[in-house]
Amino acid sequence: MSDKQKTIKNKVSVKGLGLHTGQNGTLTFHPAPEGHGIKFRRIDLEGQPVIDADIEHVVGTERGTTIGVNGAKVFTIEHVLAALIGLGIDNVLIDLDMEEIPIQDGSAKYFVRALQEAGTVEQRAEKNYIIITEPISMEIPEKKVRIVVEPAEHFSALVVINFEKTVLGEQAAHLHHMDDFPEEIAPCRTFVFLHELEFLLNNDLIKGGDLNNAIVFINRSVSQEELDRLATLFNKPKVKVKPEGVLNNLDLYFENEPARHKLLDVIGDLALLGRPIKGRVTAHRPGHHTNTEFAKIIKKQLKN
């Protein structure tokens, strides 16, 4: 099995709305030379600034990971980064004509499809792995958060979530090998609780949101009047609550789809280390802040 760096054969684009900004635009993947890494280019800004997908460039982790340099930012990068890492693509230039990655259905599926359509090219240089030689961990006891990476021959991950709610308690998701990513993890969509959705709507924070790009969990009793209001807001004829406490806007692909999506986020956020990992990650209650802080710890350990 080859361990050479890879880029894509042809450029390919994905169009859509940014979840939080509501901006409508286009993301275009371009082939890049070996050693280039993953970079974003804001072609809508003067001078078309380029932002490396680097953990040192993280400027926000609220409901998504944001990177920025000298005022130029790219929001919600984790799903597209997970797609690239999941397909073993090392080098690509990503043009973006708005400040946020298109949300699509809230998963990495459409980015994976586009990249598969573009095809991949093996390059001459060897992949530059982060090889974990001893356990590296981080804990936040008051939040019951723990994340660790241990030595292993290849990347794998176990993610455990627990929102301590009847509709969403403890769930686990396991990725045994990155070859399974496109089918087992990439399609898994983001999720939100109804009270969070209401907060986001009231604060004008999901201008590009609709009921097709998130699983909505209902963790309290809801009147038909409230459901009708949601239907109106999202241009749906009618919404109702399923027996499992999920809005009927969509069907779950997997019983543990929320945990699988959190695993997707871990992969996307750790991609900001700039190199693929040979190691086994175990994460309890991860989030974007946890993931990116853990990536900084890994980077510091590697320097030492």
Domains of the chain, start order:
4-128 (3.30.230.20)
Distance (Å, rounded) from C-alpha 104 to C-alpha 94? 17
Mean pLDDT of 108-135: 97
Distance (Å, rounded) from C-alpha 31 to C-alpha 94? 9
Q: Are 91 and 169 in contact (CB under 8 A)?
A: no
Q: How confident is the model at residue 50 (pLDDT cuts 50, 70, 90)?
A: very high
Distance (Å, rounded) from C-alpha 103 to C-alpha 109? 11
Q: Are 188 and 257 in contact (CB under 8 A)?
A: yes
**Is 261 one of the annotated active-site residues of the chain?**
no
pTM: 0.93
Q: For position 1, what pLDDT does the model report?
A: 46
Least confident range from 20-24, 69-73, 116-120, 172-176: namely 20-24
More confident residue, 121 or 250: 121
Whole-angstrom CA distances from 120 to 12, 19, 112 are: 12, 29, 12
Residues 6+ apart with CB under 8 A from 49: 41, 42, 69, 70, 72
Q: Which of the following is catalytic: 176, 177, 288, 289?
A: 288
Helix (H, G, I), strand (E, B), or coil: what is residue 216? strand
Reported as a single tens digit per residue, the pLDDT across 240-271 is 888 878 887 788 999 999 999 999 999 999 99
Q: What are phi and psi of 225, to 5 degrees?
A: -60, -45
Residues 6+ apart with CB under 8 A from 135: 148, 149, 150, 151
Environment class of 121 (CB within 10 Å of its CB; exposed 0-12, middle 13-18, buried 19+): middle
Share of the chain above pLDDT 70, in %: 95
